[in-house]
Amino acid sequence: MAPTHPSDPTMYGTFVGHRSPWTETWIAVGGWQFSCEVRTKWTWSDMAASADNRRKFIDSAIWFMDKYGFQGIERAWAYPGIKERGGRQGDKDNFVTLLKEFREHMKSSNRNYGISVLIPGEPGYSMQYDLKGMEPYVNWFNLGTWDLHGHWDAFNGWGTSMHAHTDARDIEKVLEVYFQAGLKFSKFNLGVAWYGRGYTIRDQTCGDLGTCEFSGPSASIPDSCTNEPGVLSNHEIRTLLRAKHGLNATHQTMQRFRFSRTTPINGWGTMARSRWLRRRCLRITVVWVAPSYGAWSMTWAPVYMLERISRLPSWRKRWRRRTRSLRWWPRRLIQWSRWSRRWSRWPGRWPKWSGWSRWSR
């Protein structure tokens, strides 16, 4: 296990250095592109198939986290068992064995590093994972519910009908598969895309997602950060909305919003809200990808994000701030309000009036 780029160790030090006592920094291994390149296509399958290779990887991963100060590691194997992605038939069981041996080795060496696995948001790929067997050995599963659809649907059997790349209906289907398997949703982190996928609509009068036909990806915007057909970051989407060049957007919980414009930027995207998560008892969200949120560089965006997060007080500090002004009040004058969801000073009668204060004059 080694850094991708020679300059990455410098970024590791800066990234971990911004960590606060209530945040953790993890390192992800693998990814979509890792299983595309010829040089690394079969690496995951070869490593998981042999006990010696698994032990070498485990030792290397622990050494890596010890050296750079990470608190956990994510396995982003995309995807075991898929031949086109460098997978073999025995990958499903070998992946469980890898996680089991990794957890056992950490216990024997008195280490407490976290383990997570990135799993796909598509039912077809998700069947290649023995999630029930993995569950005892991972801290959580990160559900990659992005890029479920796109202009590539024209070539993979979906056809040329437009679908949101984080369609809530598809997410509901894959969650139902996991629920039927008896998995704990408290271990799931729902993926949220910080970017939108766009299409070029054939019929400009069409307005129904799922029935409108597309002819290809939406055109790239000149001088944009992404500068890629069919992709707009959240930062670029907000910039377009503020400019108000004939654009209007409506959004609902995990539903679509449409850009209406006469240029070939007609497209669809999706946004998620925490209310959708709470109704389904999901844990938290995992975002992809950090640079899409603001006007930051791809390399240093995680550092800037962690720096901002670390400035936020922990829940303990927030609780102390909320209750500090209540400590001098008698306990009988303090009660929990189920309406405001906070501690209240007024249980039904007001304290004795002591004259006008300077604030009320």
Instruction: Answer with the residue of higher pLDDT: 352 or 16.
Output: 16
Report the pLDDT value the prediction gives residue 305, as an integer from 0 to 100: 55
Highest mean pLDDT among 10-14, 67-71, 257-261, 324-328: 67-71
Q: How far is residue 158's CA from residue 153's CA, in Å, rounded to a whole number? A: 5
**Residue 286: other Cβ atoms inside 10 A:** 20
234-250 burial, b if ≥16 CB within 10 A, otherwise e? bbbbeebeeeeeeeeee
Quick one: pLDDT band at residue 18, thresholds 50, 70, 90? confident
Report the pLDDT value the prediction gives residue 256, as an integer from 0 to 100: 41
pTM: 0.74
- Would you identify the CATH topology of the domain 7-202+266-292? TIM Barrel (3.20.20)
For the chain, domain boundaries: 7-202+266-292
Give tens-digit pLDDT for 100-132: 999 999 999 999 999 999 999 887 788 899 999
Average pLDDT, the chain: 76
DSSP state of 202: S
Quick one: pLDDT band at residue 21, thresholds 50, 70, 90? confident
Q: How far is residue 342's CA from residue 324's CA, in Å, rounded to a whole number? A: 13
Report the pLDDT value the prediction gives residue 350, as an integer from 0 to 100: 47
Is the pLDDT score of 73 beyond 80?
Answer: yes
